[in-house]
Structure 1
Amino acid sequence: MEHSIIDAHIHLDLYSADERVIILRDMEKYRVKALISVSQHLSSAKANLKLSQEDPRIRPAFGFHPEQALPAEKELAELQLFIEKYHSHMAAVGEVGLPYYLRKKDPRIPIEPYIEILELFILQAAALNKPIALHAIYEDAPIVCTLLEKYSITKAHFHWFKGDQKTMEQMTSNGYFVSITPDVLYEQKTQQLVKQYPLSHMMVETDGPWPFEGPFKKKMTHPQMIHHTIEKIASVKKMEAQEVYDILYENTKQVYF
């Protein structure tokens, strides 16, 4: 592999120990320079911090993933204190956002408490001058855009973005970043996002260990898949692969380093 890559969004702590060994061992071979490893909750943040202390190529992000039951007040307070304490070790606040799939499963779940928690994390990201890694899709994305605008957040990363044209235009106008997953090889909606969103505000991710279909069916999600993603992005954008590699790499450095 000639071109360097960064996985802009992976849950490294959710892999088994054996799988992590494989991924870290393979990084040099596949020219994976860094992994932005996002957290689910407090114990996940602690695990990602430990992983990053053992291997500096791991850049941890600390946050509370919204697709789960609300945290107890004590856990939320402890997580925010943890972020405050270890912010110099942290690449970003994340993964944070709103619970789209949880509410699809149970529409009785109110969104307001999740918005309140997200606002706390946005405030913290602003205070610490850190980027924020977001789970905000479909009709949740405009709500999150409004919150980001309220606190003048510019380094916002919407991972695996799904949304309408109007929201995409708002995100583009505000300079927010999106990241593209390996499903771009077989999902037309992802290909359409690539076609429309400016490459200047795009990154690439695996969201591992989330599994993929198509050519990746029944395979462990591995950062090396990003090389296939970038080749597809270059094809959709009708650009030289080398140029696309360079732009995506610099974009990710700009946001997370």
Structure 2
Amino acid sequence: MQGTTQGNMQGNVQKAIVEAIDSHCHLDFKHFNKDREAVMENARKAGVVRMINSGVDYSTNSKSLELAKNYDFISATLGLSPNSIDGKNDPEIKMILDQIESNASQAVGIGEAGLDYYHTKDAPSRERQAEIFKKVIAIAESLNLPLVIHSRDAEQPALDMVKHLDKVVFHCYSGTLPTMKEAQDRGYYISLATNVCRSGHHQILARNVSLDHLLVETDSPFLSPRKGRNEPANVLDSVRLIARIKGLEPQEVAAQTATNTKRIYNIR
């Protein structure tokens, strides 16, 4: 009995994943108001050494900066999501863009920002998204910071708008294989979220993405690999599945995606 227990313990040690990074989450969202500290601690205990918290508007940018200031294992990106611009007038948009630019020295990237054709169907609204996205692109370019792209059902149009940039992350990538290959060939990073655990299309993407261009994320509190709220610890579900798909050890996927994340965001 003792020998069996020891063997199981050794097996668990071998399967442990350490030093993974959740490259995109929203810990500031209200979904975590009751247990934010516990969620972060759970992730840390599971082996997630860093979390990139992404802003989508003025309020979440401010909260992302606050989290990054208070926790040395959290970094912030500052953004303006296409889903956050509805109902905002031009002065309000300018206020957010000014906020991003003036606080960028405290962030590791610009975004999320981009295009969303899933929620936005009419041409005028899509054109406004593109005009605002151009302004965020200009900020990222002028500051030489990575641009984090939201591009739901609009991956190719978004790619076409950023081809002059060197540092790009396609957050929660869900597009086609040809667009993914084109992005990779330009040196851009493909971030796969935890919905890879329940999506055949995303599993095909995982099989075909180059490991040295791959990031992993939860997009917490969304896209859980199981029922309920998502949280950063669940990024390890993606790591294990992607490893199995690619015929690799989970630790190899965790280590390489962490290295990629540190490289693109210039963090240690």
Common topology (TM > 0.5): yes
- The answer for the alignment partner of 2:6 in structure 1 is none
User: Which whole-Å CA distance do the structure 2 matches of 1:76 and 1:50 have between them?
Assistant: 21
- Which residue of 204, 207, 211 maps to 1:195? 207
1:241 pairs with 2:250: yes
In structure 1, what residue type is equivalent to 2:158? Answer: V
User: Which whole-Å CA distance do the structure 1 matches of 2:186 and 2:141 have between them?
Assistant: 16
1:145 pairs with 2:163: no
- Which residue of 94, 110, 114 maps to 2:111? 94
- The answer for the alignment partner of 2:167 in structure 1 is 155
Work out the percentage of aligned pairs sharing the same amino acid: 27
In structure 1, what residue type is equivalent to 2:206? Answer: V
- The answer for the alignment partner of 1:217 in structure 2 is 227
Offset, 1:186: 2.2
TM-score (norm 1): 0.91
Residue-pair matches, total: 249
User: Which whole-Å CA distance do the structure 2 matches of 1:50 and 1:85 have between them?
Assistant: 15
- CA, structure 1 residues 244+41, in 2 after alignment: closer, same or farther (shift >3 Å)? same
User: Which whole-Å CA distance do the structure 2 matches of 1:246 and 1:159 have between them?
Assistant: 19
TM-score (norm 2): 0.87
- The answer for the alignment partner of 2:219 in structure 1 is 207
Offset, 1:109: 4.9
User: Which whole-Å CA distance do the structure 2 matches of 1:13 and 1:248 have between them?
Assistant: 23
Offset, 1:80: 2.1
Offset, 1:56: 2.3
In structure 1, what residue type is equivalent to 2:246? Answer: K
In structure 2, what residue type is equivalent to 1:13? Answer: D
1:84 pairs with 2:94: no
Offset, 1:108: 5.7
- The answer for the alignment partner of 1:31 in structure 2 is 47
User: Which whole-Å CA distance do the structure 2 matches of 1:174 and 1:230 have between them?
Assistant: 24
Offset, 1:183: 2.0
Give the gaps of 5 or more residues in structure 2. Answer: 1-15
In structure 1, what residue type is equivalent to 2:147? Answer: I
Offset, 1:113: 1.2
1:103 pairs with 2:120: yes
User: Which whole-Å CA distance do the structure 2 matches of 1:181 and 1:64 have between them?
Assistant: 20
- The answer for the alignment partner of 1:117 in structure 2 is 132
In structure 1, what residue type is equivalent to 2:42? Answer: D
Offset, 1:200: 0.7
Q: Is the 8 A contact 1:211 1:217 kept in 2?
A: no
Offset, 1:211: 4.3
In structure 1, what residue type is equivalent to 2:103? Answer: Y
User: Which whole-Å CA distance do the structure 2 matches of 1:27 and 1:156 have between them?
Assistant: 26
Offset, 1:2: 4.3
Say which SS state the counterpart of residue 35 (structure 2) adopts. Answer: helix
Say which SS state the counterpart of residue 207 (structure 1) adopts. Answer: coil
User: Which whole-Å CA distance do the structure 2 matches of 1:16 and 1:165 have between them?
Assistant: 34
Q: CA RMSD in A?
A: 1.7
Q: Is the 8 A contact 1:70 1:114 kept in 2?
A: no
Q: Is the 8 A contact 2:190 2:213 kept in 1?
A: yes
User: Which whole-Å CA distance do the structure 2 matches of 1:100 and 1:157 have between them?
Assistant: 18
